[in-house]
Amino acid sequence: MRILYAASEAVPFAKTGGLADVIGALPKYIHQLGHRCVVLLPRYRGIRSRRVVLPSLTIPMGDSLGFCSIHEAESDSGVRVFLVDQPGYYDRDSLYRHDNVDYADNAERFAFFSLAAVEFAKRAPHAPDVLHCHDWQTALVPVYLKTLYRDDPFFQRTRTLLTIHNLAYQGVFPRTMMRRAALPDSLFDPERLEFYGNVNFLKGGLLFADRLSTVSHRYSQEIRTPEFGCGLEGVLLKRAHDLTGILNGVDYSAWDPSKDPWLAERYASDNLEGKKACKLDLMAEFEIESDPDRPLIGIISRLTDQKGFDLLLEVGEIILQDGVSMVILGTGDEKYSRFFLELQRKYPKFMGVKIAYDEALAHKIEAGSDMFLMPSRFEPCGLNQIYSLKYGTVPIVRGTGGLDDTITDYQALSGNGFKFSHYTSSELLRTVRRALEVYRNPERWQALIRRAMEMDFSWQRSARRYHELYESLILNV
């Protein structure tokens, strides 16, 4: 099979969140199953080009023509990675926004990228069997294939899969963007791309893609309800038969404490000495009190409402007063960074805060913390809780989406973390206290850590499920 992945981020090239981890890993594992995988990304600032493969590609942007070139990036994984080079759109200091405000031309930037994906595919000797799109940024690919390119014989056998990584981001723009995005006016209809008077890119993808998936089973159920559907639950219910949940995997070549180059000391489940060294190193890095016995909670996150931080606004201080230290690495909403920085000012010995994006520090937090907190309001999959398991850092989570699918609540002889279900600060606090009780019993805590570390969430299993999905898609071609 030939699979073309069109996505707006992928490690090691560009990352704002878990989507990048997925696109950096999934194609590698599908490639290992014997398929031809190609990844297409925008060429953001700083991504190095190995060579130019197409010096000029014409993009039909409705009334006008756009141009870009296609470069190939360095890649040693067996998967070829190509880049859409259009400096006017992508050579900027970040991917989607500046100073917490979205770029005003995001509709145009990603409509252009989606059209470039189709035009790029057309330049290959063979059409892809599956064009696998991700989130709103590439959700227009299936729309274009079923409208502008409907009669193009080249794509007769190509099928599309759209994976939803986060339904909360839909790409909603004023109607005037329809023309800029080369979308025929006839698509501005509530049964198609219209959404309360605006145009909704994700809605288009959900209606036009041949198949839909999301990144956990639980989230695939949740998004059919008004509570999690973000206004698209009706569309998702309509397409329920074509919607599957496939849990993300972990790329253990990047996230494994026995091989991790960022750590002060490496360790594995049969020798946890190194984890203590990592804890001291982390405490020193955040300049908090170096007490190896004081429980340490880590957080690495986008600081947004999704991640449940409003609960911490209510009980964060009580948790510190309970005898816990906390370290937080994140960027995002100012209301949360201000709150955490204020806590740090008040409790400098126990609270460490870095408002930054820092890959190395993320690894150090995974290794050096005793517990990892993710009290999300909703969570399509969530990766850090699964990374935490491998690092013997016990997750404390709210049971929603992928958090619910991956974490089972602690019992004396079972469970891999601590989980609460109602989204309230009192449940969060009670759950942290339950974790602390077990922490104070070293024998039980060690047994829990070992159980967590021995769990396997490798990509192989998830890749096999995607593989089956691709096969079923092209079965009746």
Contact positions vs ligand GLC (CB under 6 A)? 17-19, 22, 165-166, 215, 248, 379-383, 402
329 counts as binding ligand ADP under rule CB under 6 A: yes
CB of 422 to ligand ADP, least distance (A): 21
> Which CB sits closer to ligand GLC, 119 or 135?
135
> Which CB sits closer to ligand ADP, 366 or 370?
366
384 counts as binding ligand ADP under rule CB under 6 A: yes
> Which CB sits closer to ligand ADP, 200 or 376?
376
249 counts as binding ligand ADP under rule CB under 6 A: no
138 binds, among ligand ADP, ligand GLC, none (CB under 5 to 8 A by kind): none
What angle separates helix 442-453 from helix 425-439, to the nearest 10 degrees?
Answer: 110
Which one of 127-135, 145-153, 200-208, 294-302 is the stretch in contact with ligand ADP (CB under 6 A)?
294-302
Which one of 154-162, 295-303, 390-398, 414-422 is the stretch in contact with ligand ADP (CB under 6 A)?
295-303
> Which CB sits closer to ligand GLC, 70 or 381?
381
262 counts as binding ligand ADP under rule CB under 6 A: no
> Which CB sits closer to ligand ADP, 21 or 129?
21
CB of 7 to ligand ADP, least distance (A): 13
CB of 351 to ligand GLC, least distance (A): 25
> Which CB sits closer to ligand GLC, 343 or 381?
381
> Of residues 30, 178, 383, 394, which one binds ligand ADP by CB under 6 A?
383
362 binds, among ligand ADP, ligand GLC, none (CB under 5 to 8 A by kind): ligand ADP
Give the residues lining the site for ligand ADP (CB under 6 A).
17-18, 21, 300-302, 329-331, 357-359, 362, 381-384
